[in-house]
Chain A
Amino acid sequence: MSHSERAATFVADAERTRWHDESLWFVRERRDRAADAVPDWEALRDEAAGIKRHALSRLPALWEEFETAARRRGVRVHWAVDAEEHNRIVLDLLRERGVGRVVKSKSMLTEECGLNPALEAAGVEVVDTDLGERIVQLRREPPSHIVLPAIHLRKEEVGELFAEQLGSPPGLADPTELTRVARRHLRERFHAAEAGITGVNFAVAETGGLVICTNEGNADLGTALPPLHVASVGLEKIVPRMADVAVFLRLLARSATGQAITAYTSHYHGPAAPGRELHLVVVDNGRSRLLAHPSLWESLACIRCGACLNTCPVFRRSGGHSYATPVPGPIGSVLAPAREPAGHASLPHACSLCGSCADVCPVRIPLHHQLLTHRAELLASGLRPGRRRRALALAAAVLERPRLFAALGWLARRVGRRLPALLLERLGAPWSRGRALPELPRESFRALHARRSRRDGR
């Protein structure tokens, strides 16, 4: 199924589309006000873009530096070439220690790797502890947004879900009450957990430290209580120095939700206490291949703030699930087809090329131009429908011959002006399914101009 088919289903619910759009636009406006509060917002974006591109240009050296420093702090570093190896490493760590219950804070990487299904298949209970993530986990569906995983749901729907699965009183729709229900439920899971799994926002090469940002403190609790902390990080998340983190922390929460900073910004330098363990799994899963691409490599600068999702007029009206990929929206439409072109060939076309994503991006990824690159590569590799390629070839053949184009235009307008409106509309579908066709003028500009020149004696 293509993005447009899934999007049409979402749009068909006009009311849901309205508040989905308005909720995310509200976040975008909060982000705008937060950007206003920083005097040198554009300079900060330049700085962040520069640091990321620099880091991406020397990943091997930075990771070696990181590993040396992290080992010294008692961190065990593992390397996973793909999702499968990542899941195996995590599962082995859990098995070796007889872990059956795990709490996990938000990590798009573990979504990408399909860690939850892999652990569940092995009999390990995994509980997502971010509130939004827990909601979608209880619904057995993927997150629809990388920062706001349950943004596609109404609070009433969450109330129904909690009543059904967590035994809360039916009809609960007050966000504070719902949060209390979730907190009581999660607290039991935190206490019972034998390991905590987290993502990582920044790995710092010079210190061997990890930075994890959350608003709910769930990563902190999930790593403070159990004896084992397993953190998963993508190859691209490394920055050279601690000082660089400051640049990103000023941008991350402002771009994501319009907060000055996330409620919790936690720095991990080795295991929490003697006798505890901290393992880091560094995952490639197609990243080094993307790094080799002449232009798409820049998408690896992404810090997963979600600003491009919030600003995207298509995402706001089609919902995250329409992208059918762990990271949806503009950045997802760049990343997913880079990893698996055939499975995500429609995503680069789910874009009106408005360019808002590129202007909102804190690390200046030229997202909409990258989608154009994808479009060209998908067409060249034959992954677009054959009729589309034939139609484009035919249109080009006509447009390369302006006199033929003028003649065909004349004919089409002449015939079009005489056809019954209903027939014309059927011929004009899908343009004219939702829109009235333009009234066809008698003459083209070319013809009008020729007459005007004769009149003026030119």
Chain B
Amino acid sequence: MRVALFVPCYVDQLRPEVGVAALDLLEEQGVAVDYPPAQGCCGQPFLNAGARDAARRLAARWVHVFAGYDFVVTPSGSCAAMLRGHLPRLVETPEAGALASRTRELCEFLVEDLGVASLPGRRAGRVALHASCHALRELRLGSPSETREPPRRDPARVLLEGLDGLELVPLSRPDECCGFGGLFAVEEEAVSCRMGLDRLGDHRAAGAEWVTSTDVSCLLHLDGLARRHGLPLRALHVAELLASREAP
């Protein structure tokens, strides 16, 4: 099985430790992981900004780099959603379509493809899982609160729940958006910040010490707000949380 790790551009530059944690988790499962160094942006920011031509060029480039792998795994629900959902319509080649269907969010790959039920070891802390909108509503990793579809499990939740010592606290609004939204965070700065502060308020009311999520983008926004407002909450990517557990 040939597995490639896709580390989104902002993770590469701003939170490299998330990529390292993802790599550690995959290698721990005995997966040999390639990191093709020619990789770059998947095109999502451009698609979301309406710049379809730029998005198409980047996506086509992305397909060229990753074609040939059995799976492409990424520690980002959002980029995985872009690649699975939008890539086939953006780059209309059979290769792109096939690659899109073989792209996985990290926890999804661990739980659904590798069949990991739980990880050994301990990790202390009170954590709330902030559902990434794109992991939830685009990739359908879990059941959106709006729908009455047959329940689907959320792989990130499965792994966190299976971790010894970790207390996963429930939020009053299970899947409210944090307000990041890419360019939305700067174009609609006031609303974006208010959404984030409300989301952090929900975490605090639940007694969480840590905010965790499958997406670094949500976490950069929430962590920035928490630090600016002096809130006793820190953000940690799911991969970091899972990889930093103590050995059994």
Residues of A bordering B, CB below 8 Å: 3-4, 7-8, 11-12, 17, 21, 25, 32, 35-36, 38, 41-42, 311, 313-314, 317-318, 348-356, 358-360, 372, 374-380, 384, 388-389, 392-393, 395-396, 399-402, 405-406, 409, 412-413, 430-438, 440-441, 443-450, 452
Would B137 and A354 count as touching, CB distance under 8 A? yes
Could you pull out 15 A-B pairs where Cβ atoms are within 8 angstroms?
Answer: A11-B191, A32-B145, A35-B148, A349-B188, A352-B177, A356-B144, A359-B146, A375-B49, A388-B49, A393-B51, A409-B13, A435-B225, A438-B15, A444-B12, A446-B12
Please name all residues of chain A whose beta carbon is closer than 8 Å to the beta carbon of B35 when the two chains form the complex: 449
Given contacts A388-B49, A436-B224, 11 further A-B contacts (CB under 8 A): A21-B198, A25-B173, A42-B149, A311-B146, A313-B195, A348-B50, A350-B188, A374-B50, A380-B50, A393-B54, A405-B40
Cα distance A200–B180 when bound, in Å? Answer: 39
- Does B19 lie at the interface of the complex (its beta carbon under 8 Å from any beta carbon of A)? yes
CB distance from A264 to the nearest CB of B (A): 27
Cα distance A359–B195 when bound, in Å? Answer: 20
5 cross-chain pairs, A with B, having the tightest CB-CB distances, nearest first: A352-B181, A435-B224, A375-B50, A354-B177, A396-B54
Interface core residue of A17, A359, A392, A396 (most chain B CB under 10 Å): A396
**Assuming A355-B133, A445-B12, is B187 touching A349 (CB within 8 A)?**
yes
**Assuming A21-B198, A438-B224, is B49 touching A431 (CB within 8 A)?**
no
0 or 1 for each of B96-117: is its CB under 8 Å from A? (1 = yes) = 0000000000000000000000
| B147 touches which of A7, A359, A376 (Cβ 8 Å) | A359
Cα distance A452–B23 when bound, in Å? Answer: 11
Would A445 and B146 count as touching, CB distance under 8 A? no
Would A399 and B40 count as touching, CB distance under 8 A? yes
Closest B residue, CB atoms, query A31: B146
Would B184 and A353 count as touching, CB distance under 8 A? yes
0 or 1 for each of B107-151: is its CB under 8 Å from A? (1 = yes) = 000000000000000000000000001100110000011111100
Would A352 and B50 count as touching, CB distance under 8 A? no
Closest B residue, CB atoms, query A312: B177
CB distance from A446 to the nearest CB of B (A): 6
| A446 touches which of B37, B189, B192 (Cβ 8 Å) | B37
CB distance from A255 to the nearest CB of B (A): 10
0 or 1 for each of B209-225: is its CB under 8 Å from A? (1 = yes) = 00000000000110111
- Does B205 lie at the interface of the complex (its beta carbon under 8 Å from any beta carbon of A)? no
Would A441 and B15 count as touching, CB distance under 8 A? yes
Cα distance A409–B16 when bound, in Å? Answer: 12
CB distance from B60 to the nearest CB of A (A): 10
Cα distance A351–B48 when bound, in Å? Answer: 10
- Does B57 lie at the interface of the complex (its beta carbon under 8 Å from any beta carbon of A)? yes
Interface core residue of A352, A355, A447 (most chain B CB under 10 Å): A352
Would A378 and B195 count as touching, CB distance under 8 A? no
Would B46 and A392 count as touching, CB distance under 8 A? yes
Closest B residue, CB atoms, query A384: B50
Cα distance A351–B192 when bound, in Å? Answer: 10
Please name all residues of chain A whose beta carbon is closer than 8 Å to the beta carbon of B148 when the two chains form the complex: 35-36, 38, 41-42
